[in-house]
Homo-oligomer: A and B are copies of this chain.
Amino acid sequence: MVTKKPDATRRSERSRRAILAATRELIVELGYAKVSIDAIAARAGVGKQTIYRWWPAKGAVVFDSVLELSADPSGAVAALPDTGDLEADLRQVLRATVAEFADPAFEAPIRALNTEIANDPDLAALYRERLAAPVDEAKKDRLRSAQRAGQLDPGADLDLLLEVLYAPLYQRWLLRTGPLTESYADALVATVLKAFGP
């Protein structure tokens, strides 16, 4: 049985989602530096006081607007596919990441957040705790399954493996040092399987 939410709660949720969507749109259109609470309020059709009721500052709204991109509506982190074919599963996941980074609506807010994180150790710790760590744990579940199946070295350092798999892609994207393509994603998967294979 679904409990019916009172109207006020529904209105709040609608406002909250409108604010987060407006934040992401404005970052894409203006760049992080030029986004203001005033502009977010105007775009979302709410008063500034509504934003300040939930978030203390612009950085906090941006943080939640990015968090919303990476979690399903329940806030859970998606599990990785496990078809039994580790190489195919990792290729699928890494190619999906490449596709996301090619989409300005997705990558621009994350770029804004990353440059904030680089200059704010507290925000870095919060990001790590609330987003990066749960996402990494879901990935490591898939890697542990591969270890049990004898497809990875049972003693492999899975944190190092994830860094070797994702950091080159992250660096290419952040610093625009090379093209992000499916073949690049596949090359990273092949490198990791060779380095951390049984």
Q: Which residues in A have some Cβ–Cβ distance to B below 8 Å? A: 31-33, 111, 114-115, 117-119, 121, 124-125, 127-128, 132, 157, 159-160, 163-164, 166-168, 170-172, 174-178, 187-188, 191-192, 194-196
| 23 pairs from A and B in contact (CB 8 Å cutoff) | A32-B119, A111-B119, A115-B115, A115-B118, A117-B175, A118-B175, A124-B175, A124-B176, A124-B177, A128-B175, A157-B187, A160-B168, A163-B168, A163-B171, A167-B168, A167-B170, A168-B168, A170-B171, A171-B171, A191-B195, A192-B195, A194-B194, A195-B195
A191 nearest in chain B by CB position? B195
A171 nearest in chain B by CB position? B167
User: B115 near A119 (CB under 8 angstroms)?
Assistant: yes
Residues of B within 8 A of A160 (CB): 168, 187-188, 191
Given contacts A114-B175, A117-B175, A121-B176, 16 further A-B contacts (CB under 8 A): A32-B119, A111-B119, A114-B118, A115-B115, A115-B118, A124-B177, A125-B176, A128-B175, A163-B168, A163-B172, A164-B188, A164-B191, A171-B171, A191-B195, A192-B195, A195-B195
Residues of B within 8 A of A166 (CB): 171
